[in-house]
Amino acid sequence: MVAYANQHSFSYVPKAVREQRRERKLLNQLENKGVIKSIDPYVCKVCGRRFYTNEKLVNHFKQIHEREHQKRVNQIESARGSRRVKLVGKYSMKMEKYKNAAREVLTPKVGYGLADELKRAGFWVGTVSNRPQAADFALRDHIVDVMDKRKAECLMLVSDDSDFVGVLKEAKLRCLKTVVVGDADDGALKRVADAGFSWTEILKGKAKKEAVSVVGKWKDRDILKKLEWTYDPEVERKFYGSEDMFDEESEDLDFDGSDDGNSSDYMHKEDSGAWWELDTDSDADSSKSQ
């Protein structure tokens, strides 16, 4: 699972996120002035403390939990060998709990946390230069390298870029299953791929239900392909070559055998009468006496 993007993609903040941050800032100001009051208190998901304003929760999180997290990170980075392994195991639960809580409380300093979200989902994130289509070239080369090394049986591409049509066709020629996830309902990639889903279908759970039937169809298709018979001249020649030689030799023996002259006399005798005349009993007796 890999993802490639340039630095601009990670630093860019979408319009919806900017508006959400602007609204949150305005709410914080109104809460501090006492104009509005939250019905439910703000709860810290690390220690469980409750606060009546969001700004107090943010300050508490930065002053206590962020500092503790940074101390753990520095301690792990300075350790070596088995000690480092023990520290990672010791702090793994606390660090995971901190990261889950920080996503809701803290505002990322750069961008809106896209790289962190991808890493949390299990993707290897690669940053490329800001040249045009640098990410496309890097991802295409990575896919081809994986296919060359035969490390995958299915290619799942999250994109609407029609530049990847050639890669999908190459994957299908190499007998890989192809799946595309994108917003374009009738995009060029979905027309080439074996299966295609939109983000709406994934969020609603429709794609997860259809995935079972799609995989079942793939298995049935593979079984039918194994049962199909295809004519291969080389295989047929190797398999039936010995029988053909035997037939040719037997035919040569039949036609090239020695003739002692009796066969020609027999043929003349058989052809002596017309083909429509039947032998009578007297003719049969005369032939026997001869």
Residue 59 lies in a domain: yes
Are both 143 and 110 inside the same structural domain?
no
For the stretch 200-207, contacts whose Cβ atoms lie closer than 8 Å and that sit 24 or more positions apart, written own/partner, are 207/181
Q: What is the pLDDT of residue 44?
A: 93
Separation of alpha carbons 182 and 161, rounded Å: 9
Are both 84 and 138 inside the same structural domain?
no
Residue 269 lies in a domain: no
- Give, for all 290 residues of the chain, the pLDDT tens digit: 888 888 888 888 888 888 988 999 999 999 888 888 888 899 999 999 999 999 999 999 999 999 999 999 999 999 998 999 999 999 999 998 998 888 888 888 777 788 888 887 788 888 888 888 888 889 999 999 988 888 888 888 888 888 888 888 888 888 888 888 887 767 788 888 888 888 888 888 887 778 777 777 777 777 776 666 666 677 667 766 655 555 555 555 454 555 555 555 544 445 555 555 555 555 555 555 55
Q: What is the pLDDT of residue 86?
A: 92
Give the CATH number for residue 154: 3.40.50.1010
Residues with Cβ within 8 Å of 14's Cβ and at least 6 positions away in sequence, in order, are 112
- The structural domain count of the chain equals 2
User: Domain boundary residue among 198, 227, 256?
Assistant: 227
Q: What is the pLDDT of residue 255?
A: 47
Contact of 13 with 107, CB cutoff 8 Å? no
State which residues form the domain around 83.
Answer: 13-116
Coil, strand, or helix at residue 268? helix
Q: What is the pLDDT of residue 8?
A: 84
User: Domain boundary residue among 82, 116, 150?
Assistant: 116
